[in-house]
Structures are given as structure tokens and as C-alpha cells.
Chain A
Amino acid sequence: VSDVTILVVEDNDKNLKLIRDVLQFAGYAVVSAGSGEEGVELALERPPDLVLMDLQLPGIGGAEALRRLRDSSRTRLIPVVAVTAFAMRDDREDAMEAGFDGYLSKPISVTSLPAQVRGFLQAGVNGSD
């Protein structure tokens, strides 16, 4: 499964490292970006199979990054999963409203993350419906 690439967009170094290490351990190729702009750029350059996108990012937010990915024919069909630690706002609702294909709440579970990612990959775009 080493040909499956996952783009992780996350501005917190330690969280990025954690997700990357766990996914790599599970056998995925991981490309990481520290901002929305960088994530979009990398995705357009070399489209990944799945994007894990933090919602609260410096510069353009996760929702805007998602919109840009959907705007391009190269990345339109890539499933994008929101990763949030929003507390008060109904993060899940926000994520679905914004059009994400799935949702992960921080802190992520190291033990279940590989299985969750597998599920998102199988469901594809709009897989939650």
C-alpha cells in the first residue's frame, strides 16, 4: 500500500509529526504542509489520495483550502477530511457545512487512525452520504 499518499495539512509541528509517524508506520506515504496555501500547492503539484486538513490554520483556513481543491479538476475528486479541535462551535456541523468528506476530532486516536483513514479512502468524495 506504499503507493497511497496522504497529504496532512497541520500547523502544529508535534501534531503533524505524530500523524505523519503513525500513518507512515501504517504503511502510507505522507506529504505534510504547515499551512493551507502550502497544502493546496502541494496537492495541485502532485495530487494525493487523501487530505487530512486541520480547520484552524494560519493564513487561509481549512474551509478555504478545501474550496480551492474543489475548484481544480486535478484535485476535485480527492476526499478531504477535516481535523479539528474546535471547542464551542459545532465543529462537526461546520465541517459538513463546509463540504468536507469526513471529520476527525482531536486528539486523534493513534490506535484507530489507520482504520479511520482506510475508511475515508474507501468512501471517497461525498462518501458520508
Chain B
Amino acid sequence: MTNVTSTPTTGSDRDRLTLELDEAREQLDATNEILAAIGRSASDVDAVLGAVVESARRLCKTDAALINLLEGDTFRVAAAAGVSPVYLDYMANHPIMADRASMVGRVTLDRRAQQIRDVLTDPGYGRPDVQRVGGFRTLLGVPMLIEDEVIGVLLMWRNEIGPFTDHAIELVTTFAAQAAIAIRNADLVHALQIRTSELADKVEQLEALHEIGQAVSSSLDLDEVLTKIVSHAVQLTDTDGGSLLELDLAAREFKIRAAYGTSPALLDSLHQAHIALDSTLVGRACLEAQPQMVYDLETAKLDPHLSRLKEDGWRSVLAVPMQHEGTIVGALVVRRRSPGNFSDDVSGLLQTFASQSALAIVNARLYRELEQKSRELQVASRHKSEFLASMSHELRTPLNAVIGFSEVLLQRMFGDLNERQEDYLRDILSSGRHLLDLLNDILDLSKVEAGRMQFDRSQFDVLTVLQSSLAQVRGAAQSRSIALSLDLSPDVGEIETDELRFKQVVLNLLSNAVKFTTEGGAVDVRASLDGEGLRVSVSDNGIGIALEDRERIFDSFERAGRARNQTEGTGLGLTLSRRIVERLGGRMWLESEVGIGSTFGFVIPLGVRWETQPSGAVETGPVVVIVEDDHHSIELLSLYLESAGVRPVVAHDGASGLAAVRHLNPSAMILDIRLPGMDGWGVLRELKSDPVTASVPVVVITMLDERPQAMSLGAAEYLIKPVGREAVVDALGRVGALPSMPLSDVVANQGEL
């Protein structure tokens, strides 16, 4: 057996080791417990401190353990174990100071752990009162440090004398450190929470401002916007009520525009108050461009505004000015029912709201002005139309006599004329006709601008119209040696549009070109087809039109400097021509180079073979296609349909009618039988044989008495002319072509076709 040299383990050693192990285990458990408490709730510092003192007391087998936290100059007991409520109560009223009279004070000052073996024999101990209430003899204090700052002391005591071992001190030091960490964490969490809540406030403010910003820009209901601003201002500044006062600069008085948290009685009272700019708190805020506050209305100097607030029980007031670009717009006021100051934050926030409010008010004022101006313009425009209409009428009547009698005489109805008489009569007649042209242009322009010009579609040959237009200006061209030429591309044949209006436009451009081309010049007319439609241009080699005049020349009575000295022409022709082209679905343009010449061109779309009635009285509602070639009937039927809330679409022949039905899917077709080209029977047959259009009900309105044939071909209704409004509307009602909500009769006319 090998003699093993070893240190024999005595029983007492084993006991000590076992003890140390147990202690270490217990300490570990305690630490874990504290860490768990920290982990559970970093913000609940009381729970952590409670766990610390409980564990420290248990592990060190002391009678009491306390955490004293330094708050200002004194200590507060933040957690305690093994201490009577009487002691805690006493300490709350007689706190320990950070001086050498107490254990806690000494530890704080020395920033290190220390103990007093027996307080009763310690000469420096200066709080016998505390000792009597606590009943302790031996004290151990350990500092709680955060970054070398003492924030508190972990105090342990024994009621019997029993000094703490180094081991115990070390243990308590560990606990103190953990308590300090817990407090620091809690502080951090608290700071974080404050920051989070500040951020939340900021977000709330930004959201409110955003909402207000949107309201300011999108809503023109000023009261709604301002009320929103006041309510947000009150809520975000955490006050009890508020109001917004608008300044009437002329009267130098404020008027309440919006309020929140304000009783109807107070609002009424404020409305009646004379809140002058020069003698009130809100006025001072505006005049000095500085927020003004009243700490307590009970003791403040009052004005008519403030006294009414005071009567209603308000105590403190903050008023900020609302300005926009240096102009006082009004003031924003928030108030509380308790006295107190308003922080800079609140004041700053309110000023932000005030500037938003100012903007809203300024916007609304601008809008009001704009609205007023546009109303005035509308009135002026109506007056202009009425004036033009009555002037035209008044001038036409005497012109009738001037032109008529001149013609009578020139016709030699009542005897012969000598040469001079005939010459003068021709002058009278041509002047009269010129005046009439002018009137007609004015009248046409008024009509087209009011959307009341009638357009009659027909099929015609472009070449014929262009040649006849050229013939009309040939005389004027020859007298000034101007060459006329026509260049028609071969694919231009017949088109369908309003022939008279088309010719009116061409003639206007042509006569302008001849008029403004220098002697010996040339005027070229070109016509071609392209994807957009029929393109017609009239070029001259006149003086041209400067860039700045090119748009103006289309305005009424403008001749853009090129012919102000010329007397002929109404100055309305181009305006009228452009409007007509636009009404025909096309556009007009001008290309010009000063000194080289000008080209006026227009394009009108082709292939449109039906039209909505120009009155446009009914904008929505079911569509009914009228296939009818007689203008009289078309107009009456259109009126009947519009009066019943139906949109009439007119096709002047059968093929166009079928095309319109295929494109528009109308709720019914009104069909005449006698039509150019394909007659009504053909239309009916084709419509009913095409599955796409077969379901469209057809109301035949004709002079023929052929009901059986119409019914056998699939007509839904058959009416014989003359036919009144009621019969037409009733028939449309029976085939389900009327709007579900019947309109009141726009036209009560019961005339017959």
C-alpha cells in the first residue's frame, strides 16, 4: 500500500467547505433571483430592490437590510427587509442626511463599505433617534455606485453586536452593485419611455399638422378647417379649451371664428364682445408678434375678452399671434380651468398651429375673392351676350329697310334710275350688307360661345365648295393682282359635315389671305386627307404675323397690328372660324414668318356620321338614336327626348343610324321610314338581323300607315305623324328607354310634328 501523503480532512474543515459551498450556492441562487427580477421587469426597480434586500438579509443572516437612495441632500428608504413600519414612517419624516452622523452618510462621503461594531459606543454616530427606532447595534453600509457616483447605500444591521466578515461584506458589495445596475437600467428605461412618449407626442403633433395641412389645402370650408385646428391645438397642448380669433383690420377688432372646449354660452358671450386690437391681450400678442400668457385670471388685469373667460371659470390663458407674410390675420388662444404657466413647448406648438391657421384663412380669403370675381365675370359675360343680342336685333330692323328699299329701287320695280342714282344705291346696299355681315358674325359668335349654334350635316364635294369659295374672292384678288391657286390631293372627295359652316370657315380664311397679302402676291389653298381627317390650309405671302400676336389674332376684334388701319372686316372672323372648327370636332392653327407670309390651317375629323344635339341639355341618361332626315322633326323629337331626360343622338340616314346603334348601344331607336338611301324598312331588317343590335327596341314614327309591316319586321312601337310629346315619351317608356328617375318636364310643349 502506497503511503499516500495527503492532508487529512478534518470534520471541521469539511463543515467549513460544505458551508462555503452552500453559501456560494445560495449566493448564486440569490444573484439569479435578482437577475431574474431585473430581467422580468427592468422598469420595475422596486421589485428588483426588494429582491436585493431580501436576499442580502437572508444570506448574511442579518436582522435587517435596507436600500437608501440619495435624493437631493437626504436619503429615502427605497426597499427594506426586516424593518418595522414604524421605522419606515419615522425615516420618512426624519430622513438621513449625507453627513458623518450616520453610517449611510459616511459611506456616501467615503464612497466605500464600512461597518460600526456597536453604534452605542461609536463616538461619531449622531443619530441616536434612528438607533432607538431601529434598535440595531452593528451596522454595515455598502455604497451603490453608478460610474463612481454614489446613488445610495445598502445598509445591513444586526440587533445584537456581531461584526460582518470580509466574506459578508464582499457579498453585500455584490448585492449593492446589482441594485445599482437595476436602478441604472430603470433610469435608462424611464428615459427611454420619456423619449418614446416625446416621440409619440411629436408624431401625434406631426400627424395633426399633416391633417390640418391637408385640410387647409383640400377643404375650402374655412370653419371646418379652423375648428379642426383649434381642437388639435387644445388636445396637443393638453389644455381645456381654445378659440381662434380673426382680425377685422378695418374695424381693428377680433371676431371669434372657431372654438373648442367652449360652452355655447361662452361662445355667444365672446361673439358679442368687442375685442379690440389696441387694448386686449390677444391684440398685444398680434401687435408685438409675441405670445402672451396670463398665469391666473383671478389676479390679472382684465380686458373685454379676458373678463368673459374669467366669468366662465377659466383661469389661465395663452394667446399667440397668427400672421401671414407680415400681415396680422388673427390670434390663436388656448386656456385652462386652473392657474399656471404655459411651457415654451406649448407656446411653440401653438405658434406652429397659428401659422397653419393664418394660411388657411388667407387661402379662404383668396378663394372668396376669386369666387366673387368669377361671379362678376359671369354677370359681365351675360350682360355682354344680352347686349350683343339686343343690339343685333335693334340694328337688324332698320337694316332690313335700308337693304330692302335699296334692292327694290335697284330692281327698277318702280321706275328707272340714272347712273349716279344706281351708283349711290349700290353703295348704300353694299354698306348695309357689310353692316349685316358684322351683325351676323357677332350673332354667330354669341351663339357658338353659348353652345347654341346649330350644325346640319350633309354630304358634299370638297372641291365644289373650295372652288365656289375661290370664285367669291377672285374679284378682290384680281383687283390687286394676287394669284389664287388650289391644290387638292386626289383622295379628297365628298365629306360629311356642315357644308355652310365649312364654307364659312374657308371663305373667312381666304378673304383674310387676299386682304392681307401685298399687291402682286399669291394665295394658295391646299386640301388633303390624313389620319386626323380633312386638312385644309390657306397660305399667303403677306407680311406675316409676329410670334407674340399669333394667339391674340384668334381673339375677338384683334388684327394683331397687321391691319389696324384697314376698315374692312369685322375682326370676328377668325375667332368665329376657330370656334366653328372646334365645334365640328377639329382644330385650327397658324404658321407664320414675318416678311414671308402666313398659313392658316384647320383639320376636321371625318367619319362621324351622327351627332348629339348641340344644346347638351341632358348630360347623362339613356341614349336614344333618332334616324330622321327632316330637320323640323329632328328638333322637335330632340326637345321631347331631352324633356324626358333622354340624350338624343341624331343620324340623318339609315346607314348612319345603324352605325350609331352599333357604337352607342342606345336604349332605343326612333326610326322614320322615308329616308334618303336605305329606307326605314331596310334599317329595321338589318338592325333585327344583327344579334348585336337585335335587342334595341325600335319606335317607328312615320307618316305612313303601315303598322302591320313594321310589327312583322320587329318594331316595338308604331306612331303616325303628326305626333305629340306625350305619345313619343309614352312609347319610349313602354320600351324601357326612359331614365329610372323621371325628370320634371323641361319642355311642357305639346305641339305636334
Interface membership of A115, Cβ < 8 A: no
Nearest CB in chain B: distance from A128 CB, A: 5
A99 touches B751 (CB 8 A): yes
- A57-79 near B? 1/0 per residue, CB < 8 Å: 00000000000000000000000
- B434-466 near A? 1/0 per residue, CB < 8 Å: 001000000100110010101000000000000
Interface membership of B271, Cβ < 8 A: no
- A105-118 near B? 1/0 per residue, CB < 8 Å: 01111110000000
Nearest CB in chain A: distance from B414 CB, A: 8
Interface membership of A96, Cβ < 8 A: yes
A85 touches B630 (CB 8 A): no
Query: Inside 8 A of B436's CB, which chain A residues have their CB?
Result: 107
Query: Inside 8 A of A88's CB, which chain B residues have their CB?
Result: 385-386, 388-389, 392, 443, 446-447, 450, 452
B722 touches A110 (CB 8 A): no
Query: Inside 8 A of A96's CB, which chain B residues have their CB?
Result: 632, 635-636
Query: Inside 8 A of A97's CB, which chain B residues have their CB?
Result: 636, 639, 749, 751
Report the stretch among A18-26, A34-42, A44-52 that lies at the interface: A18-26
Interface membership of B407, Cβ < 8 A: yes
Query: Which A72-129 residues have C-beta < 8 A from chain B?
Result: 85-90, 92-93, 96-99, 106-111, 126, 128-129
A87 touches B398 (CB 8 A): no
A93 with B633, Cβ < 8 A, contacts A85-B397, A107-B436, A111-B411 known: no
List residues of A whose CB falls within 8 A of some B CB: 12, 14-15, 18-19, 21-22, 25, 56, 85-90, 92-93, 96-99, 106-111, 126, 128-129
Interface membership of B390, Cβ < 8 A: yes
B389 touches A15 (CB 8 A): no
Query: Inside 8 A of A18's CB, which chain B residues have their CB?
Result: 400-401, 404-405, 408
Interface membership of B94, Cβ < 8 A: no
Interface membership of B16, Cβ < 8 A: no
A129 with B753, Cβ < 8 A, contacts A88-B446, A107-B403 known: yes
What total count of A-B pairs have CB within 8 Å? 95
Interface membership of B396, Cβ < 8 A: yes
Nearest CB in chain B: distance from A67 CB, A: 11
A85 to B404, CA, bound (A): 14
Interchain CB contact (< 8 A) of B413 among A19, A25, A98:
A25
A-B CB proximity, top 7 nearest: A88-B389, A107-B400, A110-B407, A87-B392, A14-B401, A87-B389, A18-B404
Secondary structure of the B side of the interface? Answer: helix
List residues of B whose CB falls within 8 A of some A CB: 385-386, 388-393, 396-401, 403-405, 407-408, 411, 413-414, 436, 443, 446-447, 450, 452, 454, 630, 632-633, 635-636, 639, 703, 721-722, 749, 751-753
A83 to B386, CA, bound (A): 21
A26 to B752, CA, bound (A): 33
Interchain CB contact (< 8 A) of A128 among B407, B414, B632, B751:
B632
Known: A12-B401, A97-B749, A99-B751. 14 other contacts (CB 8 A): A15-B401, A87-B390, A87-B393, A88-B388, A88-B443, A88-B452, A93-B635, A97-B639, A99-B752, A106-B400, A109-B407, A111-B411, A129-B721, A129-B722
Nearest CB in chain A: distance from B611 CB, A: 16
A107 touches B722 (CB 8 A): no
What is the chain A residue whose CB lies nearest that of B614? A90
B400 touches A15 (CB 8 A): yes
A15 touches B632 (CB 8 A): no
Secondary structure of the A side of the interface? Answer: loop
Query: Inside 8 A of A109's CB, which chain B residues have their CB?
Result: 407
A107 with B751, Cβ < 8 A, contacts A88-B447, A128-B632, A129-B722 known: no
B635 touches A129 (CB 8 A): no
Interchain CB contact (< 8 A) of A85 among B400, B636, B703:
B400
Query: Inside 8 A of A129's CB, which chain B residues have their CB?
Result: 630, 632-633, 703, 721-722, 753
9 A-B pairs (CB sep. < 8 Å):
A18-B401, A25-B408, A56-B393, A87-B392, A89-B389, A97-B636, A97-B749, A110-B408, A111-B411
Nearest CB in chain B: distance from A20 CB, A: 11
A12 with B447, Cβ < 8 A, contacts A96-B632, A97-B751, A108-B404 known: no
Query: Inside 8 A of B397's CB, which chain A residues have their CB?
Result: 12, 15, 85, 106
Query: Which of B404, B450, B703 has the most CB atoms of chain A within a 10 A radius of its CB?
Result: B404
Query: Inside 8 A of A126's CB, which chain B residues have their CB?
Result: 722
A2 to B7, CA, bound (A): 167
Nearest CB in chain A: distance from B501 CB, A: 15
A14 with B630, Cβ < 8 A, contacts A108-B404, A110-B411 known: no
What is the chain A residue whose CB lies nearest that of B447? A88
Query: Inside 8 A of B749's CB, which chain A residues have their CB?
Result: 97
Query: Which of B392, B401, B411, B753 has the most CB atoms of chain A within a 10 A radius of its CB?
Result: B401
What is the chain A residue whose CB lies nearest that of B386? A88
Query: Inside 8 A of A85's CB, which chain B residues have their CB?
Result: 393, 396-397, 400
Query: Inside 8 A of B633's CB, which chain A residues have their CB?
Result: 129
What is the chain B residue whose CB lies nearest that of A111? B407
A14 with B398, Cβ < 8 A, contacts A25-B413, A96-B636 known: yes
Interchain CB contact (< 8 A) of A107 among B386, B404, B632:
B404
What is the chain B residue whose CB lies nearest that of A128? B632
A82 to B378, CA, bound (A): 33
Nearest CB in chain B: distance from A126 CB, A: 7
Nearest CB in chain B: distance from A83 CB, A: 10
Query: Which of A85, A98, A99, A108 has the most CB atoms of chain B within a 10 A radius of its CB?
Result: A85
B400 touches A86 (CB 8 A): no
Nearest CB in chain B: distance from A57 CB, A: 13
Query: Inside 8 A of B630's CB, which chain A residues have their CB?
Result: 129
A21 touches B393 (CB 8 A): no
Query: Inside 8 A of B403's CB, which chain A residues have their CB?
Result: 107, 110
A110 to B633, CA, bound (A): 29
Nearest CB in chain A: distance from B400 CB, A: 4
Nearest CB in chain A: distance from B177 CB, A: 99
A99 to B414, CA, bound (A): 36
Query: Inside 8 A of A99's CB, which chain B residues have their CB?
Result: 751-752
Nearest CB in chain A: distance from B101 CB, A: 108
Nearest CB in chain B: distance from A37 CB, A: 21
Nearest CB in chain A: distance from B462 CB, A: 27
